């Protein structure tokens, strides 16, 4: 049902970034959410249904975070537009719920005072009240409510029952759905801003009691972590440890999954007679899907680090730390978090560029985001590293395989830096504006949020395994098994449709040392990077004879490939275009097929050159 036709009251949830607004939205709505885009723009629109204690329901709209109605970024423009009735298909909310971080009222109250001037019904939710109590920050809610002239409630967005008081207040408000007149608003002048700061100071003096803020307990940590030299060294060490853990911590569970897949394949192979169905199950599905599923532990370890760093408050500090360096290649520190998000998947990373107010910086960030190594590339990296890099330590401490993985991620980052520098030269470099960023308070990661985040990532990965990867694996099996010979039996795989396709495109990749089997894997790898592993598993399972059919893929590759070819394939995947979904999202975000196809073209060229150079150098070094 559209926003204008719904008979349920519409409540808008808004606040500054890092105030816990989205956590509160998730607590209130649970799984009763639907996500779309606002008309004409790429800003995400999140709406949920909230049951009230009385049994009535209301619609809750999670507006993008904004520091002020004097908007800069596309997200902030949408937030202001919804409040003023300027967004197509969106009616003016019946009530505003402004979420404030109870530990950072001096930053959040400015937005509250701006919203009050709109004259719309409003309620203030003091979120993170539990953290405020731990920091001995006392807020007089009744006095604050009297001074502001609006209801004020406490909330804890990460705790069950943390929004009960808010729900009761919403229920008591007796909201009804109906058309409301748009508010009137004009940009704040310098005098208005100064006056707002004075009002905030007056409110704080009246309602907040807290320990002396002359010296915060975390200042020594911030001085160290934000130091231009020590901070960068610590950031590099954190990322290095993350990649070490990906290999060291995942070794045992990967072995369990691999043994399980091998056992299932052997059991089915022994229980069924030879034929197409047995070949599909053993050589196709189990060899292909099982070869991808084995990398789930590594993906979960990688995401555990990223989610913990995000929840602790370290990521905004890393963005601030890298601002000066990124400015030298024409980017701002705001590009850091979208680029870091791209290590998980380029799609949310590209969508996160909406928070970058400068259109030039946003475009360059979008174009280099695919160079960040997404989690879909991890199975390919892990497979080739396990096959060709020995399991030994360097200096008695560091895993050589972990070092190589770290190097691949670093290679992608360095490539992105060079590309950003070149793009800025081509587009005309803008003046670098220093980054102004609110640093959230340090906190221990919330284990419930971390567990839910890992559960969601595992569900997404398994859905891909059961969807696109399974489908493409079956397609590869069919192409590798047909046509049949005159006697009705499968021909050698070299004479199959897949073999013919691989041989047809192999001359293009001959300078990279790729044989026809590798070329076959590159084609479905465009649908999803992990499919390349499944495709190799299927192709080599069908190529094998006798007991070798059930053999693991890693020793097969180690035996049949040269180190030079493996290194060239790693270099190819560092720079190769992302999946088709990423290309589509670039088109949607930039509103330009020219940009999306141009990005795809430069990535293909870069990947081919990197792979060819790597192969030729490796052959020259005697690794061919």
129 annotated binding-site participant: yes
162 annotated binding-site participant: no
Retrieve residue 263's tokens. 């056992």
Residues paired with residue 126 on neighbouring β-strands, in sequence order: 100, 154
Residues paired with residue 10 on neighbouring β-strands, in sequence order: 59
37 annotated binding-site participant: no
41 annotated binding-site participant: yes
63 annotated binding-site participant: yes
Residues paired with residue 370 on neighbouring β-strands, in sequence order: none
42 annotated binding-site participant: yes
Cα 428 from Cα 96, distance rounded (Å): 42
49 annotated binding-site participant: no
624 annotated binding-site participant: no
155 annotated binding-site participant: no
* Sequence-separated (6 or more) residues with CB below 8 Å from residue 277: none
Report angle CA 240, 299, 289 to the nearest 5 degrees. Answer: 140
What is the residue whose two structure tokens read 């808004």? 14
16 annotated binding-site participant: yes
Element (H, E) at 123: strand 122-127
DSSP secondary structure, 493-548, as one string = GGGSHHHHHHHHHHHHHGGGT--HHHHHHHTGGGT-TTHHHHHHHHHHHHH--GGG
20 annotated binding-site participant: yes
Nearest to 300 by CA among 375, 399, 367: 375
* Sequence-separated (6 or more) residues with CB below 8 Å from residue 99: 13, 14, 15, 19, 20, 21, 24, 125, 127, 155
22 annotated binding-site participant: yes
133 annotated binding-site participant: no
Secondary structure of residue 557 in the 3-state scheme = helix
Cα 61 from Cα 42, distance rounded (Å): 16
Per residue, the 3-state secondary structure of 278-316, as one string, reads HHHHHHHHHHHHHHHHCCHHHHHHHHHHHHHHHHHCHHH
127 annotated binding-site participant: yes
78 annotated binding-site participant: no
Give Cα separations from 76 to 9, 45, 434, 473 (angstroms).
23, 13, 20, 44
164 annotated binding-site participant: no
Q: Which residues are annotated as a binding site?
A: 15-22, 26, 29-30, 40-44, 62-65, 127-130
Q: Which residues are annotated as a binding site for GTP?
A: 15-22, 40-44, 62-65, 127-130
Q: Which residues are annotated as a binding site for Mg(2+)?
A: 26, 29-30
């Amino acid at each position: 049902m559209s926003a204008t036709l719904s008979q349920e009251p519409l409540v808008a949830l808004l606040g500054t970034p890092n105030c816990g607004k989205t956590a509160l939205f998730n607590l209130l709505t649970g799984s009763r959410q639907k996500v779309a885009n606002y008309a004409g723009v790429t800003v995400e629109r999140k709406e949920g249904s909230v049951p009230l204690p009385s049994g009535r329901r209301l619609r809750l709209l999670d507006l993008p975070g904004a520091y002020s109605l004097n908007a800069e970024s596309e997200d902030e423009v949408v937030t202001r537009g919804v409040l003023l009735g300027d967004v197509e298909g969106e009616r003016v909310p019946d009530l505003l719920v402004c979420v404030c971080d109870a530990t950072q009222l001096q930053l959040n109250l400015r937005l509250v005072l701006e919203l009050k001037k709109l004259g719309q019904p409003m309620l203030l939710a003091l979120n993170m009240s539990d953290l405020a109590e731990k920091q001995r920050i006392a807020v007089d809610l009744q006095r604050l409510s009297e001074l502001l002239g609006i209801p004020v409630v406490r909330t804890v967005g990460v705790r069950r029952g943390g929004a009960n008081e808010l729900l009761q207040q919403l229920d008591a408000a007796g909201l009804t759905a109906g058309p409301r007149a748009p508010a009137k608003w004009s940009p704040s002048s310098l005098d208005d801003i100064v006056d707002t700061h004075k009002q905030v100071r007056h409110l704080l003096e009246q309602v907040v009691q807290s320990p002396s803020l002359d010296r915060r307990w975390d200042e020594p940590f911030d001085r160290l972590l934000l130091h231009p030299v020590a901070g960068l060294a610590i950031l590099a060490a954190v990322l290095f440890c993350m990649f070490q853990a990906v290999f060291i911590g995942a070794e045992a569970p990967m072995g369990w999954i691999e043994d399980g897949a091998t056992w299932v394949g052997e059991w089915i192979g022994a229980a069924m007679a030879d034929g197409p169905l047995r070949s599909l199950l053993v050589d196709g599905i189990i060899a292909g899907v099982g070869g991808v599923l084995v990398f789930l532990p590594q993906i979960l370890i990688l995401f555990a680090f990223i989610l913990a760093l995000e929840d602790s408050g370290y990521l905004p500090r890393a963005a601030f730390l890298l601002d000066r360096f990124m400015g030298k290649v024409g980017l701002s520190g705001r590009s850091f978090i979208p680029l870091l998000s791209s290590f998980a998947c380029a799609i949310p990373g590209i969508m996160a560029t909406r928070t970058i107010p400068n259109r030039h910086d946003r475009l360059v960030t979008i174009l280099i985001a695919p160079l960040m190594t997404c989690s879909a590339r991890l199975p390919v990296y892990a497979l080739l590293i396990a096959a060709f890099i020995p399991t030994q330590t360097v200096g008695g401490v560091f895993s050589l395989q972990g070092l190589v993985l770290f190097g691949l991620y670093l290679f992608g980052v360095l490539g992105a830096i060079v590309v950003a520098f070149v793009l800025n030269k081509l587009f005309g470099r803008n003046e670098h504006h220093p980054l102004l960023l609110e640093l959230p308070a340090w906190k221990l990661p919330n284990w419930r949020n971390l567990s839910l985040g890992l559960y969601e990532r595992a569900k997404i990965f398994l859905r891909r395994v059961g969807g696109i990867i399974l489908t493409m694996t079956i397609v590869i099996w069919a192409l590798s098994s047909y046509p049949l010979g005159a006697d009705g039996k499968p021909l050698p795989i070299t004479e199959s449709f897949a073999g013919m396709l691989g041989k047809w495109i192999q001359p293009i990749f001959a300078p990279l040392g790729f044989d026809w089997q590798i070329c076959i894997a590159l084609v479905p790898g465009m649908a999803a990077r992990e499919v390349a592993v499944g495709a190799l598993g299927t192709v080599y399972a069908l190529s094998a004879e006798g007991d070798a059919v059930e053999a693991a893929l890693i020793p097969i590759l180690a035996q049949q490939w040269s180190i030079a070819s493996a290194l060239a394939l790693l270099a190819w995947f560092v720079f190769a275009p992302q999946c088709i979904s990423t290309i589509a999202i670039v088109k949607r975000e930039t509103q330009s097929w020219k940009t999306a196809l141009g990005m795809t073209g430069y990535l293909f060229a870069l990947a081919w050159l990197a792979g060819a150079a790597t192969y030729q150098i490796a052959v020259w070094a005697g690794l061919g």
